[in-house]
Amino acid sequence: MAKKMQSEEAQRNTSFRVFEYGCLSPLANEDIALEQMRKRNEFWNRLVSIEGEYRKKSMSLIASERNDTLDNLEGKIADLRDEIDKHRKVALKDVDAFSLVNEVKKLQEDRKILYAEQKMRRKEFIEMNKPAFELIEKERRDAVKKAQAESGLWWCNYDDVLSSYNVARIKAMKEGKELKYHRFDGSGKVSVRCQRGLAIEKVFGSNKHIQIKPIDQTAWDCSIRAERRKMTRSIVKIRVGSDGRDPIWFELPFVMHRPISFECTIRSASVVREKYGNSFRYKLIIITCFSQFAENTADKGAVGIDLGWRRVDDGLRVAYWCDEEGRNGTLTIPNDIIVRFKKVDDLKSIRGRHFNNAKAVLAGWLKDKPTPEWLKGEAKFLYKWNSPSKFKKLLFKWHQKRFPEDQEMVAFIEKYLKRDLHLWQWEFNLRDKIQRRRRELYRIFAAELVKRYSTVFLEKFDLRRVEEESEYGTQGALLSNYHRTIASVSILRNVINSTFSRRGKYILQIEAKNTTMKCHKCGQVEKFDSKRQIFHTCSACDAVWDQDHNAAINILERGLSQKE
């Protein structure tokens, strides 16, 4: 009993975390990996057809019930359905449809009761015919076993497909859907599983399922990004089969841009091959689990952090921290990142301009030309269109219903969409890259703090305050709204929260009232224009302080007084 409770306790404190790394071109055994992916696909499709057979058999068994009640119910339900549909159609056209609506409501009620009845009868029937159903179930299991044996897959791979099948079939049954066949288009995955969890150091060693070329632990601390990237380059070997007793490795280089912490254990790992435009790319996904309170929680002091953004000379300040010893510092998004966010924004507005232009050109063209009815209908709300995808849909229809003298416009839309796609990809990639960099910046900041402190105080998340955040950022030429997007203080907050809670550290949310307006030296609360300048002179004690530093001190003090 005690043991069971203990394991439940362990369960509760266990969380899963996913690490994802982009891979470069494979070094060895890509052909074998591809073969496994294709066979996984085949195996899945075979399981889908086994499932289909199983369903057919059990349905026909249910239908074989000679007691006509069930059929009658089915018939009645079908009739009701037709009736409801008929009424619906009429009701839509008829203005005076009030009585019909009520009738439909009544029919729907009846149907509900019939369904419930049917469900009960079915349950009863299954209970009474248990042996027959058990036979079907056994046939299914045998077929699955046979398919597995014939799949030609290394066991981890069939195991992985099987477990997704087992989850999917239950879900499909509950939702009354059928499992879907998958077409093999060259994408897929290979995976390995470590049932009891694999310690990280073994992955960097001689494990028989997955191996990662060790990385110097200091690599991640390197402050130069290019250097860090170079030092964190590694190679992953994932097992895709056996040669006698030896593993056959699928080998790929990758950049381990963030470390897997040593208190984690690996549960499973996959290399995924996915379609990317006209080519394919690989990524490594590692699923780990860790015990939340594994780390030593010795008290290392507290830090107060003021979150909020403000334009400063060297970038966008997003946080100011301060500890009990009076040490303090800031987190600032450097200018080069801000410039790139601006670039993303420019691309977006260029696309917007092209879109509006395309709408105007089409509208003008439609006015001058005799156009078919369908096109008039499609373009009826042209002025309301808000996304290029509307043009895509229109073009698709248009290609099926070409008419004389439409070449010019069709060519124009094609050209527009091609250019938009190009810009969209550019914008998307740039944004993705830049957001990752920001995240990395936030992650490093939080990692530094969690190393040094065991308690963090943050202001309570408060929507009103978020609105007010626009106060902080009116210096400089850019719109404050825009700065808010770049700073994404809520992301920083989440990163800090998750970093501290993951290590079992203490997070306390502090009441935000007056943290900015109160002087930490004398306690005077005064209203002042916080957006005008960073430094403020207290009118009561003449102290001069950086507003954000002042707020961080107030947060720290409030936190300490609450903690005791």
Q: Please tell me the count of residues contacting Zn ion according to CB under 5 A.
A: 8
For the bound state, the minimum distance from the C-beta of residue 543 to Zn ion, rounded and expressed in Å, comes to 5
Which of 229-237, 334-342, 401-409, 542-550 is the region at the interface with Zn ion (rule: CB under 5 A)? 542-550
Q: Which residues pair with 239 in a beta bridge?
A: 249
- In whole angstroms, the minimum distance from the beta carbon of 550 to Zn ion comes to 9
Among 182, 419, 521, 531, the residue binding Zn ion under the rule CB under 5 A is 521
Residue 524 as a binder of Zn ion (CB under 5 A): the answer is yes
- Taking the C-alpha atoms of residue 17 and residue 401, their distance in angstroms, rounded to an integer, is 51
* Binding window for Zn ion (CB under 5 A); candidates: 145-153, 221-229, 535-543, 545-553: 535-543
* Summary count for the chain: helices (H), strands (E): 16, 14
Q: Which is nearer to Zn ion, 446 or 553 (CB)?
A: 553
- How far is the CA of 101 from the CAs of 78, 86, 107, 235, 449, in angstroms? 19, 11, 10, 66, 63
Nearest distance, CB of residue 558 and Zn ion, angstroms: 17
**522 touches Zn ion by CB under 5 A:** yes
What's the closest the beta carbon of residue 542 comes to Zn ion, in angstroms?
7
106/122 Cα distance (integer angstroms): 25
Q: Candidates 268-276, 419-427, 501-509, 518-526 — which segment interacts with Zn ion by CB under 5 A?
A: 518-526
Give the range of 229-237, 416-424, 533-541, 544-552 binding Zn ion by CB under 5 A. 533-541
Is residue 525 close enough to count as binding Zn ion by CB under 5 A? no
287 sits near Zn ion (criterion: CB under 5 A): no
Q: Which residues contact 304 (CB under 8 A, 6 or more apart)?
A: 321, 322, 323, 456, 457, 510, 552, 553, 554, 555, 556, 557, 558, 559
Q: How far is the CB of 481 from Zn ion (least distance, A)?
A: 33
Of 147, 538, 552, 553, the residue at the interface with Zn ion (CB under 5 A) is 538
544 is a contact residue toward Zn ion (CB under 5 A): no
d(CA 144, CA 150): 10
Binding mask 460-499 for Zn ion (x = CB under 5 A): ----------------------------------------
- The DSSP secondary-structure symbol of 181 reads -
Minimum distance from residue 490 beta carbon to Zn ion (Å): 31
> Pick from 10, 339, 541, 544: which binds Zn ion (CB under 5 A)?
541
CB of 511 to Zn ion, least distance (A): 20
Exposed/middle/buried for 292, CB within 10 Å: 0-12, 13-18, 19+? middle
Asked whether position 519 contacts Zn ion by CB under 5 A, the answer is yes
CB of 535 to Zn ion, least distance (A): 13
SS3 557: helix
- Which phi and psi angles does 304 have, rounded to 5°? -105, 135
Nearest of 48, 548, 24 to residue 309 by alpha carbon: 548
Confirm or reject binding of residue 446 to Zn ion (CB under 5 A): no
Spell out the SS3 assignment of 332-386: EEEHHHHHHHHHHHHHHHHHHHHHHHHHHHHHHHHHHCCCCHHHHHHCCCHHHCC
Handedness of CA 179, 184, 188, 191 (dihedral sign): positive
Are residues 222 and 228 in contact, defined by beta-carbon separation less than 8 angstroms? yes
Site for Zn ion, rule CB under 5 A? 519, 521-522, 524, 538, 540-541, 543
